Amino acid sequence: MKTFFISHPDCALHRAPSSHPECPERLAAIDDQLIASGVEPWLRHREAPLVTREQLLRVHDAEYIDALEAGVPETGRWATLDGGDTYVGEHSLKAAQRAAGAVILGVDLVLENSTHTAFCAVRPPGHHAGRDYGMGFCLFNNVAVGAAHALEVHGLSRVAIVDFDVHHGNGTEDIFRDDGRVLFCSSFQHPFYPHTGADTRSENVLNLPLPRDTDGAALRSAVEQRWLPALEAFQPELILVSAGFDGHLEDDMANFRLVEADYEWLTRQLYGLAGRHCEGRLVSTLEGGYNLSALGRSVAIHLKVLAES
The region of weakest confidence among 115-119, 131-135, 181-185 is 115-119
Those residues with Cβ within 8 angstroms of residue 210's Cβ, 6 or more apart along the chain or in another chain: 187, 188, 189, 190, 218, 219, 222, 256
| pTM of this structure | 0.98
As a three-state string, the secondary structure of the chain is CEEEEEECHHHHCCCCCCCCCCCCHHHHHHHHHHHHHCCHHHEEEEECCCCCHHHHHCCCCHHHHHHHHHCCCCCCCCEECCCCCCEECCCHHHHHHHHHHHHHHHHHHHHHCCCEEEEECCCCCCCCCECCECECCECCCHHHHHHHHHHHCCCCCCEEEEECCCCCCHHHHHHHCCCCCEEEEEEEECCCCCCCCCCCCCCCEEEEEECCCCEHHHHHHHHHHHHHHHHHHHCCCEEEEEECCCCECCCCCCCCEECHHHHHHHHHHHHHHHHHHCCCCEEEEECCCCCHHHHHHHHHHHHHHHHHC
Q: How many residues does the chain have?
A: 309
- Express each pLDDT in 17-54 by its tens digit: 888 999 999 999 999 999 999 999 999 999 999 999 99
Amino acid code (one letter) for 63: E
> Quick check: 309 pLDDT over 80?
no
For the segment 163-172, what is each residue's pLDDT rounded down to a tens digit?
999 999 999 9
State the burial class of residue 228 (Cβ atoms within 10 Å of its Cβ: 0-12, 13-18, 19+).
middle
pLDDT interval class at 84 (50, 70, 90):
confident
**Distance (Å, rounded) from C-alpha 263 to C-alpha 195?**
24
d(CA 116, CA 276) in angstroms, rounded, equals 14
Looking at the DSSP bridge assignments, the partners of residue 257 are 215
Name the nearest CA neighbour of 132 among 55, 67, 54, 51.
67
Q: What is the pLDDT of residue 247?
A: 98
What percentage of the chain reaches a pLDDT higher than 90? 94
Domains of the chain as residue ranges with CATH:
2-308 (3.40.800.20)
pLDDT at 14: 97
Mean pLDDT of 240-266: 98
Cβ count within 10 A of residue 263: 26
- Tell me the C-alpha to C-alpha distance, in Å, between residue 286 and each of 6, 46, 179: 11, 15, 23
Q: 307 near 1, Cβ under 8 Å?
A: yes
Residue 74 in this model has a pLDDT that exceeds 70: yes
Residue 114 has pLDDT above 90, yes or no: no
Tell me what pLDDT residue 1 has.
61
Per-residue pLDDT for 214 more than 90? yes
